[in-house]
Structure 1
Amino acid sequence: MPTLDITETNYHRLLKRQIRKSLPPELAEHPGMQDFLLSVNQAYTEFQDDMGRVELILEQSSGELFKANRELSRIAKEKTEEAALTSKRLEEVVRSITEVLVQLDGQGNIVYLNKAWENITGYTVAESLNRNWVEFFPDSAEEINDILDTEEQNIDTTVKLLTAQKKEVWIGVSLSHQYVGEKLIGYIGTFSDVTERINAEKKLKSYMRDLERINAELDQFAYVVSHDLKAPLRAINNLSEWIEEDISHLLEGDTKDQFRLLRGRVHRMESLINGILSYSRAGRIKTVRERFMLKTLVDDLHDTFSSKKPVRFLIEGNQDLVLETERITLTQILQNLISNGIKYNDKPEVDITIGWTEDDTRFEFFVGDNGPGISPEFHERIFVIFQTLQARDEVESTGVGLAIVKKILDEKGGVIRIESKMTEGTRFYFTWPKNDRKETETSLKNNPFQ
């Protein structure tokens, strides 16, 4: 192997310096040493190249990290601003809530309140926190302790509170238990000012008592007046009969008819008085709910009617249907409708058809006849009290029956309608709710015959 001059070989700069300082010339010129030094030089060179590449990679990575860090800083700033805006909006929403948002610990101490507490009670949130809520409801302390001990998940009650201004207000309390596992850690819910509602309920109860008292007085007055009105009518009727008996040998022709008309008017007046009494009581008098088979009611009605003409009753519907409702009131409605179908019938034979269907919330009944029919312009008018379609001298009527039917159905939440063809007959359809809840009855009025 050729000998290389150390000064002429392109060693690594650090290696050159060490060679000059440490190796004697005779050792530097040794062939083995030259190979060793060349290998070391190559290793240094490769290491320097690797370091250069690492530095380049680090420089590139540092730039990317700087850009990423700048982007993350921008995103963090945006999210912080969004969170601050959301928090501000949430705070504004909480401030605008008129109900008190409340959180209590397991002992009933107040942990959280919103500003609505100050508006309702006059106490500041700061002075109310960490105090037991019973302190603000001293008149209801026993009741509060009882409701906190309840095992029910939701607590709903109304308690009285004395405000900071010494004013009494009623608070509607709605709380739910909070648990961690099976351990009770507190309560969360709302307080609301229900003073106006409580006062309105008290007024309503007072008005109801007054109304009941007035109705009772009116009922008594009506009966007294009717008795006082009927007494002279009966006297007129009796006197006319006595006079007719006394001078029967002198009466003839028109005179007899006039005595008959006189007593007829007396009887009509008495019927009108009875009709007014019935109308005034219709729907107001609560009757007992009974359980009965509908067909037995219809059979009983059939036996109560009499007419110079033959009357045939037809039934359409489930004859095994059992109802649980106010039998007396339902009977009154059917009785009036059947009576009209017989009274105003112009056919030699009277056909009365009674039918019914049912759904989940109501029954629908109909009473039909084969009479002269009712013209459409009178379909509403006939339900007005004292309205009749024929002269009272032709058919004796007070014009109260259908008005009573309409009034009862209005009170019960039912409705009535008419289907009629002239010369062929009329059908009265009416709905009868299965229960007494007003909300169900009202909803049926929107579309009662769908």
Structure 2
Amino acid sequence: MQTLELTETNYHRLLKRQIRKSLPPDLAEHPDMQDFLMAVNQAYTEYQDDLTRMELILEQSSGELFKANRELSRIAQEKTEEAALTSKRLEEVVGSISEVLVQLDREGNFTYLNQAWESITGYPVAASLGQRFAGFLPPLESREKLVEILNNETQAKEETLRIFTADGQEKWLGASLSPYYANGTHIGFTGTLSDVTARVTAETKLKSYTRDLERINAELDQFAYVVSHDLKAPLRAINNLSEWIEEDIADMLEGETKDQFRLLRGRVHRMENLINGILSYSRAGRIKTVKEKFQIRSLVDELCESFSTKKPLSFRIEGEPNTEIEAEKIALTQILQNLISNGIKYNDKAEITITIGWKDLGNQFEFYVGDNGPGISPEFHERIFVIFQTLQARDEVESTGVGLAIVKKILDEKHSKIRIETVMGEGTTFLFTWPKNEAKDIQ
């Protein structure tokens, strides 16, 4: 009966096979055999279930890994293509740069050059790599400059080197090289070489033109001096002759004739002043004087003491008394002197008041010279700076018409501006700018 139950029980297929093969009849009839076989059957069943689940998990994981691997392969392919494209673009950019990108080892041999080297010099890049840079610089002075660069292992250095191209043309290279290090060891130099032939040629021409201009200016100064001297000589003779004639016939001269002799000498003095004015105008702004540092107030005080007039004259000074300026003192003095003189000469008031001041505008100063005279009508604000132009007849006010023209010319040389503020019947103020430091601002 027990054997029948054992046989009919639905055991795991592996357990059934083992029972048929190896279980003896006497063991099959043992009372505890049923429980044992059921426990073994349960173990087989659970194992099979676990194995099935593991197979399912492995199948799912394998599918996910396959998808992930396929995605990684796609990303890797994209990144490879992007890297290749970036590398190609970088090569194109480097190839299109007009400057030579260069690397040298410590001995000055080329270790890297871009295509610009061949474009500028005509020497092939492949043939130049490994060659000494100095070998391409036949002129001795250029080799010496390169040696100075190679001997400097601490800081960047710039030089202009002369080179002869593959077809024998002379060119100039602007070399900017810096030492570079690897693990604290100096291994070479890196930088750029640019074609500065046009710039060097222009600078050479400019220097030549400057020398010619200086020579011409010197000749003009000499000419102006000689001409003014030669023109003044006959004027002095006319003045002396008129005085002698007047002395010789003093008892015969009457009122109108005396006035004419006086008028003659006045015209002579005006002509002499005009010649002096022309000479001053020709030199204005062109003759460079030494730049010096000084207090503006001290300059103004000296100027005020140098003026005198028949009318009561007073000065009003406005500005920070300790303000200093670095400038051509003579040029600034000449401007202020002419403006002050102008304010005195054309003043129609019984008491003359001249205001002189200055303001700090940051990168420049603003000066102003004001008077309490008749004022200048706006339509004449430009005209008064033209040489020989005066607003009153010279018989009324003795003037050459050169002073304000000199002021304008000097300020133009300094790249400065002058403007006029006026109230008719109350006065005029001239305002002009002046660079704080001419050494930096004037080109």
Shorter-chain TM band:
over 0.9
| Distance change in 2, residues 1:322/1:87 (3 Å) | closer
Which residue pairs with 1:27 in the alignment? 27
User: How is 1:226-375 mapped onto 2 (pairs within 5 angstroms)?
Assistant: 226-375=228-377
Deviations 1:371-393 (A, max 9, x none): 00111111111111111111111
Q: Secondary structure at the match of 1:389?
A: coil
Task: Provide TM-score, normalisation by structure 2.
Answer: 0.93
In 2, Cα distance between the equivalents of 1:9 and 1:299? Answer: 133
User: How is 1:169-208 mapped onto 2 (pairs within 5 angstroms)?
Assistant: 169-208=171-210
Deviations 1:411-443 (A, max 9, x none): 2233221111111011111222221245x358x
| Distance change in 2, residues 1:83/1:151 (3 Å) | closer
Deviation at residue 42 of structure 1 after TM alignment = 1.6
Which residue pairs with 1:133 in the alignment? 133
Deviation at residue 351 of structure 1 after TM alignment = 0.8
In 2, Cα distance between the equivalents of 1:175 and 1:257? Answer: 81
Which residue pairs with 2:429 in the alignment? 427
In 2, Cα distance between the equivalents of 1:80 and 1:322? Answer: 67
Opposite residue 159 of structure 1, the aligned amino acid is L
In 2, Cα distance between the equivalents of 1:30 and 1:106? Answer: 97
Larger CA deviation: 315-324 vs 41-50: 315-324
Which residue pairs with 1:408 in the alignment? 410
Deviation at residue 349 of structure 1 after TM alignment = 1.0
Q: Secondary structure at the match of 1:51?
A: helix
Q: Secondary structure at the match of 2:162?
A: strand
Q: Secondary structure at the match of 1:7?
A: helix
In 2, Cα distance between the equivalents of 1:396 and 1:153? Answer: 66
Deviation at residue 324 of structure 1 after TM alignment = 4.0
Larger CA deviation: 348-357 vs 301-310: 301-310
Q: Secondary structure at the match of 1:249?
A: helix
Larger CA deviation: 202-211 vs 287-296: 287-296
In 1, Cα distance between the equivalents of 2:66 and 2:169? Answer: 65
Deviation at residue 233 of structure 1 after TM alignment = 1.5
In 2, Cα distance between the equivalents of 1:89 and 1:320? Answer: 61
Q: Secondary structure at the match of 1:372?
A: coil
| Distance change in 2, residues 1:267/1:152 (3 Å) | farther
In 2, Cα distance between the equivalents of 1:422 and 1:103? Answer: 72
User: How is 1:42-191 mapped onto 2 (pairs within 5 angstroms)?
Assistant: 42-139=42-139, 140-191=142-193
| Distance change in 2, residues 1:6/1:133 (3 Å) | farther
Which residue pairs with 1:9 in the alignment? 9
Q: Secondary structure at the match of 1:325?
A: strand
Q: Which structure 2 residue ranges, 5 or more long, are not aligned? A: none
Cα-Cα RMSD: 2.1
Q: Secondary structure at the match of 1:336?
A: helix
Deviation at residue 97 of structure 1 after TM alignment = 0.6
Which residue pairs with 1:446 in the alignment? none
Deviation at residue 38 of structure 1 after TM alignment = 2.3
Deviation at residue 251 of structure 1 after TM alignment = 3.0
Opposite residue 413 of structure 1, the aligned amino acid is H
Q: Which structure 1 residue ranges, 5 or more long, are not aligned? A: 443-450
Opposite residue 317 of structure 1, the aligned amino acid is G
Deviation at residue 59 of structure 1 after TM alignment = 1.6
Deviation at residue 211 of structure 1 after TM alignment = 0.6
In 1, Cα distance between the equivalents of 2:324 and 2:193? Answer: 48
Deviation at residue 92 of structure 1 after TM alignment = 1.5
Residues 172 and 193, structure 1, Cα contact 8 Å, conserved in 2 = yes
Deviation at residue 3 of structure 1 after TM alignment = 5.2
Larger CA deviation: 313-322 vs 269-278: 313-322
Q: Secondary structure at the match of 1:135?
A: helix
Q: How many residues align?
A: 441
Give the fraction of aligned pairs with identical amino acids, expressed as a percent. Answer: 73
In 2, Cα distance between the equivalents of 1:396 and 1:132? Answer: 76
Deviation at residue 158 of structure 1 after TM alignment = 1.1
Residues 292 and 324, structure 1, Cα contact 8 Å, conserved in 2 = yes
Opposite residue 397 of structure 2, the aligned amino acid is V
Deviations 1:166-225 (A, max 9, x none): 222111111222123431122221110111111111111111111111110111111111
Q: Secondary structure at the match of 2:76?
A: helix
Q: Secondary structure at the match of 2:251?
A: coil
| Distance change in 2, residues 1:12/1:293 (3 Å) | closer
Which residue pairs with 1:447 in the alignment? none
Deviation at residue 117 of structure 1 after TM alignment = 0.8
| Distance change in 2, residues 1:337/1:43 (3 Å) | same
Larger CA deviation: 386-395 vs 357-366: 357-366
Opposite residue 261 of structure 2, the aligned amino acid is F
Q: Secondary structure at the match of 1:364?
A: strand
| Distance change in 2, residues 1:296/1:14 (3 Å) | closer
Deviation at residue 25 of structure 1 after TM alignment = 2.3
Deviation at residue 357 of structure 1 after TM alignment = 2.3
| Distance change in 2, residues 1:164/1:292 (3 Å) | closer
In 2, Cα distance between the equivalents of 1:405 and 1:293? Answer: 21
Residues 4 and 34, structure 1, Cα contact 8 Å, conserved in 2 = no
Deviation at residue 2 of structure 1 after TM alignment = 5.2
Opposite residue 63 of structure 2, the aligned amino acid is G
Which residue pairs with 1:18 in the alignment? 18
